[in-house]
Chains A and B, each alone.
Chain A
Amino acid sequence: MDYIQNYQTLWFFLILILLAGYSLLDGFDLGIGALLPFLGKTKEEKDVLINSISPVWDGNEVWLITGGGALFAAFPHAYATAFSGFYLAMMLVLFALIFRAVSMEFRAYDDVRAGIWEKAFVAGSALAALLFGVALGNVVYGVPLDNKMEFTGNFFTLLRPVPLIFGITGFTAVLLQGATYAVMKTEGDLQQRAFRAVNILTAVNFVTALVYFGTIVFTFDDIFTNWMFYLAVLFTLLWLSAIFFSVRHKNDSAPFWESSFSFIGLWLVVAAVHFPNLIKASNDPMLNITIYNSSTSMQTLKLMSIIALVGMPIVIAYTIFVYRIFKGKSKSSVHY
């Protein structure tokens, strides 16, 4: 079955996996960043939280870099349209990612301004977490495009209510990733606070997820026959519910996995309503950027498939190896 459509479909899902993987992994460290002042009350507690992510955040961010590279290689028009069209928003994402990365290092060495770097870390993490969802919401809901696949809106086009709902949904899901990760990696008072945060955030996620599903039902055509969508909704809500039970039983690792699965559910929703589109055109469905009209050649897609299907299992294997080295509770001081 050597048709280019098969490879285009494969790459739709592989990029989805890379972005979902990014959202789960960098999700928990962005979540820790955004929640830092709410979870950590003392400097020691904040150190524990930051130390829980410092050995792994950089590897997590490579999922985004690889996802971006894969989008470039498989669907260059989608990459080009979204990145140039959302120019100022993309710049904000970059500035946010720069600050959250360097401020961890700066905070550790610059005692005088540690407070400022901490705020930069929190703000950078939160802003990045919010903007990713807004960007995704825009390509799924649709943006105005011309017949050369160029974006014809402006910065404020990106801030319409539906994309913002996507943004808030993603943001709360990231917070839940962070809180459940904190439960897994901490002890004592800090962990109790994290447990309470998980409870609250699970409830918040129920609300945002329902608003997100409702928005999709009211704004997307053909949704009533899309059984994949309803399965994905069910999947998300079931895993979210499970978190309540795990918290009640003071299970410190299950909530993280349940949160991760519910996050995957949100991605399945995107797959169900969006395939085979990459960037919908809000002005004319004929102008949609799809996997069929924006991909590279079959040779490139084949080559990329080999690189990904050989390379990513190896990456995942050594990533697990390294996570196992750092498993267990995080401490406030590390040999550094």
Chain B
Amino acid sequence: MSALLLARLQFAFTICFHFLFPAMTLGTALIILISETLYLIKKDETYKKITDFLVRLLGLIFVIGAATGIVMEFSFGTNWSGYSRAVGDIFGPILAAEGVIAFFLESVFLGVLLFGRNKVSRGVYWLSALLVFIGGHLSAFWIVVANSWMQTPAGYTINEAGKIILGNFSDAVFNPSTIVRYVHTIIASWVTSAVMLAGIAGYYVRKGLHGETAKTMLKVGIILFALTPLLQLGAGHAHAVKVINLQPEKAAAMEGHFNTINGAPIYALGYVDVENQKTYGIYIPKGLSFLYNFDWNSEIKGLNDYPKKDWPPVNFVFQVYHIMVGAGMAMIALGLLGAYLLWRGKLYENKFYLFILPFLIPLPHIAHETGWIAAEVGRQPWIIYKLMRTSNAASVVVSAGEITLSLIMFFIIYTLLAAMFIKIFLKIVQKGPAA
């Protein structure tokens, strides 16, 4: 395998693994903030127990997220030094801002959340929960800005020497895809933690553990599980429209469209035969055009409008994108079902639904991972869309052998981390909120 492909595999592996953890962190920080706010207002010890329980989980999640996150920051220098040399002017300050403005805040106040319950007043503890929530969400903002700038670069100029120079930083930060991508990413994280909470609480309630605390957790979890996937439906829709407008090749690959037509279909699932330019599957005629701007006959660009050397791997992008959509739709249905059961007062008795809940915990992870893979692979062959090719971005001095070695090491170490994470996660869940 070439050094370039190995470097891409290593980035893909390390980023996919890393993102599992921040995805849980943000939503968990939100639920902690909700729970601690309720504790502050209602002075009900139940909420304190829930906060403390979730803080234990957050500590575990955060440490693995931080340990694997530093790998990502280093990777631009270690594996993508060609990219780093080219984009220091814009990408550099975005990463530095993430540290100064966001990650310090989250990390420093997480210490108070984890170890300060008996050392600070309720007010300061609540404030720490708020600052961890804000810090985490700001951190995600800057990272999403960095990614969005690679998808839809803005706020730059090219100087006489052909170098990318900072033009307007605000335009770079609020480039055309930042906001919609940020909202989509944040809600994905909220969904992830909502399902996690509902899954854990569902298990407790079914087993008759932790009494009212478990029921309160389940109630909060189900309400969030019903609301957040619905919010995501809107955010995902807005994002898809943006992709059609801003990165039409990617959108065409996601839906397997080769020819520009008025009234493009949308697939529920299928298969793209790139060689013969045919897409098979179950589809709604003219569905994509309708969703694009609510006109059944609007025009959707096809891949053939673009040179073949600028196409992403079409069937792969199609498949991962459809897994995301499918997982999202399933979550909407299951969340609404839970809300219905809660409304009818049958939630705590419905053994079947409670039995299923814990098994749903991986579902949002599948959705956000495949969604990101669709976004990133869909951008290929560009590392910065229409500005720099991935093939020009890798470190020239790092050999295939060196990357093979590091990739094997990452694989071994991350497998160990995953095993330990699951083991300790289950241990904390076994102990539960009463402990």
Contacts and interface: CB of A to CB of B under 8 A. Distances in A.
Q: Chain B contact residues: over half helix, strand or loop, or mixed? A: helix
Interface in A92-129: 93-95, 97-99, 101-102, 104-106, 109-110
A68 B99 CA distance: 9
Contact of B73 (A65, A104, A152, A325): A65
A72 B84 contact: yes
A151 B397 contact: yes
Interface stretch (A198-206, A236-244, A306-314): A306-314
A187 interface: no
A1 interface: no
Nearest to B159: A297
B56 interface: yes
Interface string A80-92: 1111110110110
Interface string B390-423: 0000011110001001100100010001001001
Contacts of B69: 65
Interface residues on B, range: 35 or more
Interface stretch (B74-82, B232-240, B242-250, B360-368): B74-82
Contact of B74 (A62, A68, A88, A326): A68
Contacts of B66: 58, 61, 101
Nearest to B403: A87
Contact of A311 (B73, B101, B108, B165): B101
Interface in A285-312: 296-297, 299-300, 303-304, 307-308, 311-312
A261 B50 CA distance: 44
B166 A105 contact: no
A150 B396 contact: yes
A24 to B, nearest CB: 16
Given A68-B73, A79-B77, A109-B424, A335 B413 contact: no
A192 interface: no
B63 interface: yes
Contacts of B74: 68, 83, 90, 93-94
A315 interface: yes
A98 B67 contact: yes
A69 B99 contact: yes
B210 to A, nearest CB: 19
A284 to B, nearest CB: 17
Contacts of B64: 102
A54 B114 contact: yes
Nearest to B406: A91
Interface string B83-107: 0110111111101111111011101
Q: Chain A contact residues: over half helix, strand or loop, or mixed? A: helix
A5 interface: no
Nearest to A75: B88
Contacts of B95: 68-69, 72-73
A319 interface: yes
B111 interface: yes
A165 to B, nearest CB: 25
A296 B92 contact: yes
Given A72-B88, A101-B67, A296-B92, A325 B402 contact: no
Contacts of A82: 77
A80 B85 contact: yes
B115 A58 contact: no
A300 B396 contact: no
B180 interface: no
B77 A312 contact: no
Given A97-B70, A335-B117, A297 B165 contact: yes
Interface in A34-78: 51, 54-56, 58-59, 61-62, 64-66, 68-70, 72-77
Given A58-B63, A296-B166, A326-B111, A76 B93 contact: no
Interface of B: 56, 59-60, 62-64, 66-71, 73-74, 76-79, 81-82, 84-85, 87-93, 95-101, 103-105, 107-112, 114-120, 124, 165-167, 169, 395-398, 402, 405-406, 409, 413, 417, 420, 423-424, 427-428
User: When A and B form their complex, which 3 residue pairs have the shortest distance between CB atoms, in order from nearest?
Assistant: A76-B88, A83-B77, A73-B92
Interface of A: 51, 54-56, 58-59, 61-62, 64-66, 68-70, 72-77, 79-85, 87-88, 90-91, 93-95, 97-99, 101-102, 104-106, 109-110, 149-152, 296-297, 299-300, 303-304, 307-308, 311-312, 315, 318-319, 322, 325-326, 334-336
